[in-house]
Amino acid sequence: MRKEKEMMDLILNTAKSDDRIKAVYMNGSRTNSNAVKDIFQDYDIVYVVDSTKPFIDDKKWIDRFGERLFMQYPDENPYYEDETNKQECYGWLMQFADGNRLDLHVVTLKYAEQEVLKDKLCIVLLDKEGILPDIPKASDEDHYVKRPTQKEFLAICNEFWWCLDNVAKGLWREEPTYAMDMLNYCVRPQLVKLLSWKIGINNDFKCSIGKSGKYMYRYLSENEWNKFLETYSSADVDDIWNAVMKMCSLFIYNMNEVSKGLGYECNIKEAENCMGYLKHVRQLPKDAEDIY
């Protein structure tokens, strides 16, 4: 596997030897001092060019970066065609045979000027003609947990309890795929948000929990982290029910903690009513003709 220096030399020497490339900047986890450093970190590289078209038309120019196992052309995906602007930004996502991964984009100066000022994790690696604006030292502060308003706090709590209605329905019908989708895509994000607020309170809202809460373990106690992990289940209906109940207990406890920490009101009656409903549905016979 090529080491970081070899990869960075290749990336920069490619830019230096190609007059079409005016500048190079990097973003992503490699510029974030708080990210875990490991062998799976991508190289998120952006070349600033006069025109993206010559690079798009030349199907072989990326061969210089190494043998590829597989790759993706994200801007050619028919599902996202309406969201792409190939004239301003075009990318190649490459997984190499040696284990390295390079997410490479070519962008126009107009696009780059906006991005480097907006993304605080950008680092300029090369600027041949001094065309890029000065940017502050890379920081992940844009990803810090944000203090919620009272309205946001109540809304997240309401969303958590309301979406469990669909989970209960799916479990009673013994539709585990539906129930798990509702649980993981609609309910779980509210729990992660609530835990992030608890972490924010304890860290003066100057921390990031990472995508999908992957860094929460840094800030929660071992017991708290394990309780969160126990909310994940297999596709067995009883196992999902057990995970749901654990999730509810964890949510209620932290809902009270966060409401106290922020000095906000919380709707405990809503939580109690939902918990009662869930327990009732779990015991409801399969031949029931009425819910109550």
Domains of the chain (ranges, CATH numbers): 4-140 (3.30.460.10), 144-283 (1.20.120.330)
pLDDT classification of 13: cutoffs 50, 70, 90:
very high
Residue whose C-alpha is closest to residue 142's, from 96, 97, 205: 205
Residue 83 has pLDDT above 80, yes or no: no
What is the average pLDDT score of the chain? 94
Q: What is the mean pLDDT of residues 260-274?
A: 96
pTM for this model (two decimals): 0.86
Averaged pLDDT for residues 76-90: 84
First to last CA, the chain: 63
Return the percentage of the chain with pLDDT > 70, whole number: 100
User: What pLDDT does 12 receive?
Assistant: 97
Predicted pLDDT of residue 135: 85
> If you count DSSP H runs as helices and E runs as strands, how many of each does the chain have, helices first?
9, 6
State the DSSP H helix or E strand holding residue 101, giving kind and residue range, or none if neither: strand 101-107
Amino acid 139: pLDDT: 80
CA atoms in the 13 A half-sphere facing the CB of 35: 20
pLDDT(97) > 90: yes
* Residues facing residue 107 across a β-bridge: 48, 89
Packing angle of the helix pair 188-202, 150-172 (nearest 10 deg): 150
pLDDT bin (cut points 50, 70, 90) of residue 84 is: confident
Residue 82 confidence (pLDDT) above 80: no
CA atoms of 233 and 157, how far apart (whole Å):
22
Nearest to 228, CA basis, from 208, 255, 210, 249? 249
Q: What is the predicted pLDDT for the residue at 142?
A: 84
Any idea which of 80-89, 245-254, 258-267 has the lowest mean pLDDT? 80-89
Q: State the pLDDT at residue 6.
A: 97
With a cut of 80, say whether residue 80 has pLDDT above it. Answer: no
**Element (H or E) spanning 127, and its range?**
strand 123-127
pLDDT at 32: 87
Q: Which of 80-89, 114-123, 210-219 has the lowest mean pLDDT?
A: 80-89
